[in-house]
Amino acid sequence: MAAVRGEFSSKFGFILAASGSAVGLGNIWGFPTQAASNGGAAFLLVYLILAFALAYPVLMAELIIGRHAKSNAVNALRLISNSKVSYLIGSITGFVGIITASLILSFYALVAGWMLSYILAPIAELLGQQWAADWLTDFGLYRNIIFLLIFMTLTVTIISGGVKDGIEKWSTRLMPALLGLLLLLIVYVLFQDGAMEGVKAYLLPDFSRVVDTKLIVSALGQAFFSLSLGVGTMLVYGSYISQKENLSYLGKMVTLVDIGIAVMAGMLIIPAMYVAQANGVQIFDAAGQLISEDTLIFTVLPALFDTMGTVGIFISFAFFVLMGIAALTSSISMLEVPVAYAVENHGIDRKRAAQVIGLVIATISVIIAFNFEALFGLTIRATTRFSQPVLGLMLCVFAGWIWHRNKMLEEIKQGYAEVESGFFWKIWPSYIRYFCPIAIIVVFAQRVLS
Ligand code: PHE
């Protein structure tokens, strides 16, 4: 019944897979648009602090618990529980994580589908098929459904391949491509007229905004979403790390890659907006705010590409391929959460599990597509603003209060024998016990109250 558990073949394989999960639409779309509407570099600064001070410690908790249990979140939290009550709470936390990951995937697939259709639009244009290009870029129900199904099929296919031949293989192919494309686009955009004004807006902080609670709340939400925290993704990926590896090093690398790519994406998107302005595209709304979110990606940037002539067609293609890759390496990590549970707890064959669960999630996506106005924003808010921080808090409680400290130490010592003399072990245990839960509660309360 129980299948042999997969394992990442190397440090490098894990780092690329986990940063593939972390680096997603959250980095390339979410981060720059939030920075654009929250005071540019002020947001960047707060984000950097919160990512290292709050998100990294929670990521470490997931990796350590996951590798120790060598199982999905439900089993892992049960394993480290110390009473009937904590066993029950652990089970609930694990299940809520599975549901949250699946719901995140249901809206993510819809958005990722738009990226796929925008990849094809410039090709249709090159072939002189303007009607097809228009259909691909118009917000239509059929287009939405067709492309979300294509995207889910890709996700299911990769996850069916397992840890080494699915997740790791595709992450190690796609992540270097993502980095290459991103660098290429940045260099191109920075040489256009108007770009420097964007660089200034992005890198010169408006310090008066740094203490703005709305900004802090958004930055924390962004950091948690971006590092794929709370829902059990990193815990499951952690469960596939070999006992030989140093977890504190791996966690640091993933955090650095995630933050680095977000910061680079800002260097692409914000200057691109100012280039668009220099080309006559409107980038401020009626209230004088920088246009952000979907209007930025699907209106401002395409308008910019249009002003660039034939080069614009290639740039547009490259940009949406970049978005598509970012989305795919993240979506596989979301699907892995319920699939790992189905395989490990119910003995279901991996391929079967991926197909059936993929179908259920695709059905939810289709329902969202049909009721877009009512359900899209609601699903995003419920999962990312509510569920993720609460789950993050529960993980801190398990790592800081429930799991026995010595057992945790034993686990980290594997692959890092001298951990006790390092900086990490001096700070992290009390940090995850006191600072992280309190900070999450404070920020969460702010969010609920406002
Ligand atoms: N980190 C991904 C992004 O930035 C989103 C994600 C959330 C992935 C939760 C997995 C789990 O887009």
Span 119-170, pLDDT tens digits: 999 999 999 999 999 999 999 999 999 999 999 999 999 999 999 999 999 9
Query: Is 60 exceeded by the pLDDT of residue 1?
Result: no
Ligand 1 atom 7, closest CA: 228
Handedness of CA 191, 193, 197, 198 (dihedral sign): negative
Q: Is the CB–ligand 1 distance for residue 226 below 6 Å?
A: yes
Determine the average pLDDT of the residues in 258-263. Answer: 94
For the stretch 300-353, pLDDT in tens is 888 888 888 889 999 999 999 999 999 999 999 999 999 999 999 999 999 999
Q: List, in order, residues 6 or more apart from 389 with CB less than 8 Å away.
A: 220, 221, 224, 230, 440, 443, 444, 447
For the stretch 25-67, pLDDT in tens is 999 988 988 887 787 788 888 899 999 988 999 999 999 999 9
For the stretch 378-429, pLDDT in tens is 999 999 988 998 999 999 999 999 999 999 999 999 999 999 998 899 999 9
Q: Is the CB–ligand 1 distance for residue 19 below 6 Å?
A: no
The CATH fold of domain 2-449:
Amino acid/polyamine transporter I (1.20.1740)
What average pLDDT does the structure give for the chain?
A: 92
Determine the average pLDDT of the residues in 234-248. Answer: 96
pLDDT band at 4 (very low <50, low <70, confident <90, very high): low
Q: Is the CB–ligand 1 distance for residue 21 below 6 Å?
A: yes
Q: How far is the CA of 330 from the centre of ligand 1 (A)?
A: 6
Ligand 1 atom 6, closest CA: 228
Determine the average pLDDT of the residues in 197-216. Answer: 82
CB 323 within 8 A of CB 116: no
For the stretch 162-194, pLDDT in tens is 999 999 999 999 999 999 999 999 999 999 999
Q: Is the CB–ligand 1 distance for residue 155 below 6 Å?
A: no
Q: Where are the domains of the chain?
A: 2-449
Q: Atom of ligand 1 at shortest distance to CA of 333?
A: 10
Q: Is the CB–ligand 1 distance for residue 22 below 6 Å?
A: yes
For the stretch 82-108, pLDDT in tens is 999 999 999 999 999 999 999 999 999
Q: Is the CB–ligand 1 distance for residue 26 below 6 Å?
A: yes
Provide the whole-model pTM.
Answer: 0.95
Query: Is 60 exceeded by the pLDDT of residue 2?
Result: no
Q: How far is the CA of 56 from the centre of ligand 1 (A)?
A: 15
| pLDDT reported for residue 215 | 82
